[in-house]
Structure 1
Amino acid sequence: MLPLFKSLRFKLIFGLLIIVIPIVAFMIYNNLYAIKVVRNQVAQSNKNLISLYMGQIDRNLDEVDKYLFNFAAQDTGLLVLDAQRDQNADRYSLAKIQLNNKLLKDLPSYKSMDMFFVYSEPNQDLLTVISDQVTYTRQEAVENSIMTIFQDQRDGSNQTSLKEWFMLKLGDQYYLTRVIKYGNVYIGAWADASKLMVPLNLVDLGNNGRALLVTDKFETMSNKAFVQENQINLNNVGNDYKLTGKGEKFLVVGEKSAKGRFRLIAVIPDSIILENLPFLRRMVSFILIGSLILLPFILFLLRKIILIPINRIMMAMRRIEDGNLDVRITYSPSVIEFDKMNQSFNRMISQIQELKINVLKEKLNHQKAELKHLQLQINPHFFLNSLNIIYNLAQVKDFTLIQEMALSLVEYFRFMFRSNMAFVALRDEVQHTLNYFRIQEMRFPHNLTYDLSVPDNLMDELVPPLVIQTFVENTIKHAVSMDKQVHIGITIEAIEVNRIRIRVQDTGKGFPEDVLARLQMEMDIGNGEGHHIGIWNMQRRLRLLYQDQAQITFANGADLGAVIDILIPFHEKEGGGNYASIAGRGR
């Protein structure tokens, strides 16, 4: 199987992703960049707006500062309040009346202020001038709070700096306070912090947008519930914007006051900001989402149009590699190129199959010719020895044996020339072997004995011709002599359900060690003089007839002698039944 990264499927998908991913990444980057640019622009715009309003507030506070300083420097009545009341009570009271009338007259000129006050520390006396919009209850609470500040200031427990405007908290409301010290007299101004937010409430920050006024510790003076509900973090709002909030995000910008310890903050919903993006950004988002939606559909079409037809061809080629030439690619609606490719593939496989059949036929004919050639080979020594036996019998005028010998030779050569058959019945092979034994008995009288055992029900099995006689002939050639009697035993039986074993065993000297080793390794042991050519012929014939289903083993018996086992598959019925035993002895 091909590695995944070398497959066409991988390369097509990888190539598609190589094209799509950079485009999608660029679109995402462009989208994020556009969002960042718009956020910067909105943040800068609102920053400028907040700075404008903060500048206006600071200018109003600066005018109040100038008024307070001028008042302290020019009004002589403050000098009277700086002295003890007991020194001149009437003058003290007159000075308070004059100060009250002047402050009451000037208060309407400063609409952002709700109160002017003067405090005489030597007399612990507080003079206040209140706007008509302030209730008596609120006035009383403010006066008590201011008295507390001065009391703490005198005791040294007040940590509030009086050098700038600061926030004074009464209940849930915050008030902007300014105090200027002149000798032992304090003059100051007081205003509701919510009045500073009136102009900012006219600014359009969206339905969920807010303008906030916070202390220097980022405590919210207004819209506290809105900040807590949306979990908006106002800490460390500096010159740059920040995104904060749970759920819907908010863009927060702020500006610190130059006159006091407070700042203005604008909170703008991020959704409102993104609504102001240009049409191109929306189009990019549409293309991006469309690409992500279309990508699976493109991969599906790629698979259906290209990958499935190619996979069908690959599967057919794998089955052909396994030797199945009957495989054909079935017709399936596809593109014209793949239709042509499938038709050409099927025609090519058909031609290969026909060519293979022709080659097999030619090979079979060649094997038949080779088998016939092997079967027709005649041992010249056997023929000459047989003629020599007839000649010797003629000299002694033993006409009966001459007739028997001639008849045996006729039967021998008749069987040999039936070799156009690839198989013969076992009974014919057995009869031929017995006839061969009879001829050899005449050659080696009293020195050759034999027996042949075969079940009756195997007599009709088909075996290759000369499969027994070849090994008997080889045994007689190498084991039988005029000096010693040799017995040859042949046993034929059915084994392993579907195989026939033919065992040829003799009582001779057995195989030489070198010859036995070569035979066991299935090496050619023939030589130029024709020795062992019969064994090679039979090995070759069995290979042609049975391929790997036949087997010949060679060994030496425990009591000397050679043992040859031939295993071949049989065709008809399995063994069992009575045995026919045939034995003979030289006479």
Structure 2
Amino acid sequence: MKRKRLYSVKKFFMIASVALVFPFAILSVYFALHTIRVSEEMAASANRNALYLYQQELSTNLEQLEQSMAQSWAQDWKYQKLRFELDDIDAHESTRIILEAYKVTQSVYPCVGAMAIYSPANGLCRCIYDNSYSHDLREDIKKYVEETDFSRDSVEWYVRRIDDKWFMVRVLGLSNAYSVCFVDIDLGPKITVSEPMPSYLVYFDGNMEALNETEVFKNVDLDTKDSYYIRKIAGENFMIVHMPLGYGNITMAYIARYSGFGHMTISQIFAVTLTFLMLLLVPLVYYIVIRIFFRPLSEFIYSIHKSRDENMHPKLSYTGELVELNEFSDTFNDMMEEIEKLKIDSYEQEMAKQKAEFQYLQQQLKPHFYLNFLKTLYGIIQLRHTDKAQQMILGVSEYIRYTFRNNSVLVPLSEEIHQVENYVYIQQASIATRVILNVEIPDEAMNAYVPVMSIQTFVENSFKYAVCADRNLEIGISASIIQAESEVYLEIGIQDNGNGFPEDILDKYTGGRNQESVDGTSTGIHNIKQRLEIIYQSRAGITCMNNYQGALCELIIPLQTKQAPEDAQEVSDECIDRG
């Protein structure tokens, strides 16, 4: 049957929230941006209108200046006769009258910084200047007029820099006599209306270089494509609108400090603020839902998983105000209490079962061992080796006593090693192959407690499967204390020089398959695994492998140094000295 697809409540809530809130958020953001855009366009339109007025004012002044100069050259003989060489008094008088007219023109048009009448034929160059000009600037203006060949210069207004000032220059006249008008950019139209934000009227030449206010706007790049735009200048935002002057390839720009909210009406500010506050409420509501519903629910699920994975019975603790979660918590806690009671009963039954398993496991003796011992003992007696027969009988009796001890009892590792040595002594008498037992265990490990017969079983397997007629049997036993995470373990290794485990048996060990399905060759190891599980649960383990020497078994158990209580009757007889 196909399993029904399940969905997380949290995921479903998120999808539903996005489906409902996302369109609203898009519309709200669009509305807010549209409102800000309208406010920008209104501010740009006002700035553009102001710029147009200033542009018209300056264009009118330039046009009227040009017409006045042209009319003077067309109608006044005093201008034209300067083309010819005159006597000094006549030339001086003519230029004086012209300069007087220039002063009137300068008073009418404040943007005029200087005007000059130049007559190369008479060697005259006389100028009038704005009163604020320094002596050096006046000399440089006059020098510029005298050194410039106006017969080849432009007949239109053009831009020229003299010293640190920019001028719009217009030249009118005939050969050998010229009138030159210098319109000072700094004396042009200025912003006189007080504004809530500082504003600037800036002139740019054909290379888009600022001609005034150069300290602030010398690196400003004009975007000729957009009707208005906002730039960050000196760390502040400015709105820029511009248009060509129509004279001298000059562009006029109205640059005003811009603050989006500062240019909005109260109703616009209120609408935008309300929109963003509503958007901020969305994550706030989501956070509240997570805190009062999903977080307790996640804790419930974690506790349930922990109960399942770690075989624990946690209690749910809920202090919130949701009725449904409170009822769920109470019901779950009641269920855990009932399960705990049932588990106590089950545990008592399991203990009885384990006791029966202990009794069964310690009855699984090795009949062939005793049969071989009796045959060996018979042979020794036939040879009348009475002392050796007595030692063999005492050794086997000790082995039997040790075997019949309670399998749940822990004994010092030194005692288990002593029993292994006793077993090797008994077995050596019954086989022709020489047995070499190497024990490398530090003193601190000898005091650790291990299960009875935990090493003995692996040594028995070495005698059963590693004995070869063409070489000695070598058995090595080592032990070390290791630290793993927060617990200390005792690691014991048993190595022989036999042919190793058969591949099918080793595959069943390493594959974790049920050892009850393995034949009698692995019954002893299977019994040890069961005993370790009963004594240590999942904290102990056995690893079997083959290496270049032969079979290797590693036993890892928690380190225990206290005396374990024993249920079986201890034997007081000691094994005789084999030396």
TM-score for the superposition, normalised by structure 1: 0.53
Say which of 131, 135, 138 aligns to 1:134. Answer: 131
SS of corresponding position for 2:198: coil
Matched residue, 1:577: 572
Say which of 223, 226, 246 aligns to 2:213. Answer: 223
* 1:181 Cα offset (Å): 2.8
Matched residue, 1:511: none
Matched residue, 1:246: 234
Name the CA shift for 1:499/1:204 in 2 (closer, same or farther; >3 Å): same
Matched residue, 2:176: 184
Matched residue, 2:323: 336
* 1:58 Cα offset (Å): 0.7
CA contact (8 A) 2:110 2:188 kept: no
Matched residue, 2:250: 262
Matched residue, 1:151: 147
Name the CA shift for 1:144/1:307 in 2 (closer, same or farther; >3 Å): closer
Say which of 190, 203, 206 aligns to 1:213. Answer: 203
SS of corresponding position for 1:188: strand
Matched residue, 1:194: 186
* Alignment partners' CA distance in 2, 1:144 and 1:362: 117
SS of corresponding position for 2:236: coil
- Any unmatched runs of 5+ in structure 1? 372-421, 428-450, 464-494, 503-516, 526-534, 536-541, 551-569, 580-587
Q: Which amino acid aligns with 2:131?
A: V
* 1:82 Cα offset (Å): 1.6
The one-character-per-residue Cα deviations of 1:342-400 (angstroms, maximum 9, x if unpaired) are 233334445556677889999999x9xxx9xxxxxxxxxxxxxxxxxxxxxxxxxxxxx
Q: Does 1:274 align with 2:261?
A: yes
Name the CA shift for 1:211/1:79 in 2 (closer, same or farther; >3 Å): closer
Q: Which amino acid aligns with 1:343?
A: D
Name the CA shift for 1:359/1:47 in 2 (closer, same or farther; >3 Å): same
* Alignment partners' CA distance in 2, 1:105 and 1:307: 86
Q: Does 1:81 align with 2:82?
A: yes
* 1:275 Cα offset (Å): 0.7
Q: How does 1:173-572 map to 2 (within 5 A)?
A: 173-197=165-189, 200-227=190-217, 233-235=220-222, 240-242=227-229, 243-271=231-259, 273-279=260-266, 281-283=268-270, 286-287=273-274, 290=277, 298=285, 301-322=288-309, 324=311, 326-330=313-317, 332-350=319-337, 497-498=451-452, 572=567
Matched residue, 1:57: 58
* Alignment partners' CA distance in 2, 1:246 and 1:233: 10
SS of corresponding position for 1:153: coil
Q: Does 1:122 align with 2:112?
A: no
* Alignment partners' CA distance in 2, 1:80 and 1:61: 26
* 1:91 Cα offset (Å): 6.1
* Alignment partners' CA distance in 2, 1:285 and 1:61: 46
Q: Which amino acid aligns with 2:292?
A: I
Q: Which amino acid aligns with 2:174?
A: Y
* Alignment partners' CA distance in 1, 2:339 and 2:181: 110
CA contact (8 A) 1:120 1:126 kept: yes
CA contact (8 A) 2:118 2:145 kept: no
* 1:49 Cα offset (Å): 1.5
Name the CA shift for 1:95/1:210 in 2 (closer, same or farther; >3 Å): closer
Name the CA shift for 1:144/1:342 in 2 (closer, same or farther; >3 Å): closer
Matched residue, 1:514: none
Aligned residues: 405
* Alignment partners' CA distance in 1, 2:321 and 2:341: 28
Q: Which amino acid aligns with 2:227?
A: D
The one-character-per-residue Cα deviations of 1:476-509 (angstroms, maximum 9, x if unpaired) are xxxxxxxxxxxxxxxxxxx97447999xxxxxxx
* Alignment partners' CA distance in 2, 1:178 and 1:356: 109
Q: Which amino acid aligns with 1:69?
A: A
* Alignment partners' CA distance in 2, 1:187 and 1:240: 38
CA contact (8 A) 1:164 1:178 kept: yes
- Any unmatched runs of 5+ in structure 2? 1-5, 364-392, 408-448, 458-504, 506-513, 521-526, 536-564, 575-579
* Alignment partners' CA distance in 2, 1:350 and 1:144: 105
* Alignment partners' CA distance in 1, 2:452 and 2:133: 125
* Alignment partners' CA distance in 2, 1:246 and 1:137: 31
* Alignment partners' CA distance in 2, 1:522 and 1:74: 132
* Alignment partners' CA distance in 2, 1:136 and 1:361: 113
Matched residue, 2:36: 35
* Alignment partners' CA distance in 2, 1:135 and 1:320: 93
* Alignment partners' CA distance in 2, 1:523 and 1:226: 92
* Alignment partners' CA distance in 1, 2:169 and 2:304: 93
CA contact (8 A) 1:166 1:260 kept: yes
SS of corresponding position for 1:202: coil
Matched residue, 1:583: none
* 1:340 Cα offset (Å): 1.3
Name the CA shift for 1:246/1:18 in 2 (closer, same or farther; >3 Å): farther
Identity %: 15
* 1:336 Cα offset (Å): 0.9
CA contact (8 A) 1:174 1:193 kept: yes
The one-character-per-residue Cα deviations of 1:308-360 (angstroms, maximum 9, x if unpaired) are 43233323322442474744434644411012112333344455566778899
Instruction: Kindly report the root-mean-square deviation, in angstroms, between the aligned alpha carbons of the 2 structures.
Output: 5.4
Farther off after superposition, 10-19 or 64-73: 10-19
SS of corresponding position for 1:122: coil
CA contact (8 A) 1:206 1:269 kept: no
Name the CA shift for 1:573/1:261 in 2 (closer, same or farther; >3 Å): same
Q: Which amino acid aligns with 2:148?
A: D
CA contact (8 A) 2:110 2:187 kept: no
CA contact (8 A) 2:261 2:269 kept: no
CA contact (8 A) 2:151 2:175 kept: no
Name the CA shift for 1:28/1:173 in 2 (closer, same or farther; >3 Å): same
* Alignment partners' CA distance in 1, 2:116 and 2:313: 112
Of structures 1 and 2, the larger Rg is shown by: 1
Q: Which amino acid aligns with 2:234?
A: K
* 1:266 Cα offset (Å): 1.8
SS of corresponding position for 1:179: strand
Name the CA shift for 1:28/1:521 in 2 (closer, same or farther; >3 Å): closer
* Alignment partners' CA distance in 2, 1:98 and 1:248: 52
CA contact (8 A) 2:140 2:162 kept: no
TM-score for the superposition, normalised by structure 2: 0.54
CA contact (8 A) 1:167 1:176 kept: yes
* Alignment partners' CA distance in 2, 1:521 and 1:148: 113
Name the CA shift for 1:244/1:164 in 2 (closer, same or farther; >3 Å): farther
The one-character-per-residue Cα deviations of 1:40-78 (angstroms, maximum 9, x if unpaired) are 332232122212211121112111211222222222333
Name the CA shift for 1:254/1:360 in 2 (closer, same or farther; >3 Å): closer
CA contact (8 A) 2:35 2:268 kept: yes
Q: Which amino acid aligns with 2:214?
A: K
Q: Which amino acid aligns with 2:65?
A: V
CA contact (8 A) 2:191 2:201 kept: yes
